[in-house]
């Protein structure tokens, strides 16, 4: 089973139609050897510097660069359900390949 992840639901639906993934589920389509889901824009972001250490809440030149030992991620508010769906799909035992069908450009949250 191949998991295709699109940028948004409308693109996911279009890809699903072409790939034969015609069974609509909650947050994804399935069929023809494919699972097709979407991100709804930015699902996660990097945690703010203060998440790592409270002293970084107010930025100071002397503290830079701030490079954590392990990066932390925050799921965007209101997008927890779709994040959970994607996570579950990625961990399905029958998924052998994940295909990124998201936009290719560099994009930053506004």
Mind listing the pLDDT tens digit for each residue in 21-58? 999 999 999 999 999 999 998 899 999 999 999 999 99
Residue whose structure tokens are 């508010």: 77
What's the pTM value of the predicted model, to 2 decimals?
A: 0.82
Helical (H) or strand (E) element with 100: strand 97-101
The pLDDT of residue 109 is: 53
Who's near 76: CB < 8 A, 6+ residues apart? Answer: 41, 42, 43, 44, 45, 83
For the chain, list the domains and their CATH numbers: 2-100 (3.40.50.140)
């Amino acid at each position: 089973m191949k998991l295709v992840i699109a940028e948004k639901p409308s693109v996911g639906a279009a890809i699903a139609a072409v790939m034969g993934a015609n069974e609509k589920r909650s947050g994804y389509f399935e069929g023809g050897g494919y699972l097709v889901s979407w991100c709804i824009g930015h699902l996660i972001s990097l945690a703010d510097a203060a998440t790592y250490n409270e002293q970084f809440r107010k930025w100071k030149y002397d503290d830079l660069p701030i490079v954590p030992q392990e990066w932390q991620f925050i799921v965007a508010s209101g997008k927890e359900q779709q994040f959970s769906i994607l996570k579950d799909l990625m961990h399905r035992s029958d998924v052998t390949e994940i295909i990124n069908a998201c936009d290719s450009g560099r994009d930053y949250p506004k």
